[in-house]
Amino acid sequence: MAENTSPQGPGQALPARGAQPAAPPQVQLFEFALGFWRSRALVVAAELEIVDQLTGGPLHVDEIAARVNAHAPSLFRLLRALETAGVFKQVSPRVFANTPVSELLRKDVPGSHSAILRMSFTPGEGEFDAWMGLLGGVQTGKTAFEQVRGCTFWEFLRRNPKQGALFDESMRAVGEGVTPVVAGAYDWSRFPVIADIGGGVGTQLLEILKAHPSCRGILFDRADVVARAIPHDRIERVGGSFFERVPAADAYILRRVIHDWPDAESIAILKAIRAAANPGARVIVIERVVDDAPENAAGKWMDLLMMVVAGGKERTADDFRELFEKAGFELEQIVSMPAPMKLIVARTRG
């Protein structure tokens, strides 16, 4: 909660020693507008691939404009504004260079945010459109994306291969830093067969099997997705719908899957797993766990994103407990990791 920056009256708390006083409310509200402007400017820089032109060193804005087919005076104003946020650096008048922040706009570097930003802030690419329906979503409870586009987000990706590929690329980038953390955060070796449900091309499962040579894996996703999966001699690729039937296994990974769906669909996924699970099997959901602390903002904004794009939600520990119970599981433990997400582990009941 923001501190009051006016002179303190009786009963008002003083700021903590050494704490920076909060900005005036007008400034705080202006920061919301700045956030949107910065995001759009950043994405335009990514779409123009300016960072790639600067990999060999600083360039004058006229040269950059010629290479990316832009209007030099307008491009200068864009880069000058982005410099105030640490994106690009003007090393001499109208000569710009990359910074560690702008480097992450490249497509081919570890931790690249190029696909994530384009998916989030480019009209027509997917997620950006959903925010245009936020008011209607809040008023009706219906998924904003469907109101704007007339179909589900997943159907939109199926109909538009270009956007589907961009989404796949953004998901790989999102998970890049988390994948090795998940592999080392849990004792996977006690499960002879591990099924990654909705596991994409298999990056997470590969990392787990690399760390645990005694395990075998099953990669389960749509047939067109597993057809593109990374080959591995201990991974069986199975295509299908996780609402209907999944393979038998000793452990099931659901990484960033459950949060895509409302409760009814999430329970249906878990029930399909319960019907196929070997005795004593575990379900390991890899997602954020939301709590009520106001300073824990990221999970709550991700929850809003899920609401407008896919109709899903980020969940509390009690939410997960209830989902598991309705599907025939019980919450066993929540494992913290040096990452925003946690391992929410459930075991079969009965």
Q: What is the rounded distance in angstroms from the CA atom of residue 31 to the CA atom of residue 273?
A: 45
The number of residues making up the chain comes to 350
259 is catalytic: yes
Catalytic residue among 71, 113, 232, 259: 259
Distance of CA 124 to the CA centre of its chain: 19
CA–CA gap between residue 128 and residue 308 (Å, rounded): 10
Quote the DSSP letter at residue 315: B
Q: Are 145 and 156 in contact (CB under 8 A)?
A: yes
3-state secondary structure (DSSP) of residue 174: helix
Residue of 82, 53, 92, 83 lying closest to 70 (CA atoms): 53
The DSSP code for 7 is P
DSSP state of 289: B
C-alpha to C-alpha distance for 269 and 275, rounded to whole angstroms: 10
| Cβ partners under 8 Å of residue 88, min gap 6 | 45, 50, 54, 79, 82, 96, 97, 98, 99, 102
Q: Are 282 and 271 in contact (CB under 8 A)?
A: no
Kindly state the DSSP code that residue 261 receives in the 8-state scheme: S
- Quote the CA–CA distance of 23 and 5 in Å, as a whole number: 7
* Residue 233 near residue 213 (C-beta atoms within 8 A): no
Catalytic residues, which ones? 259
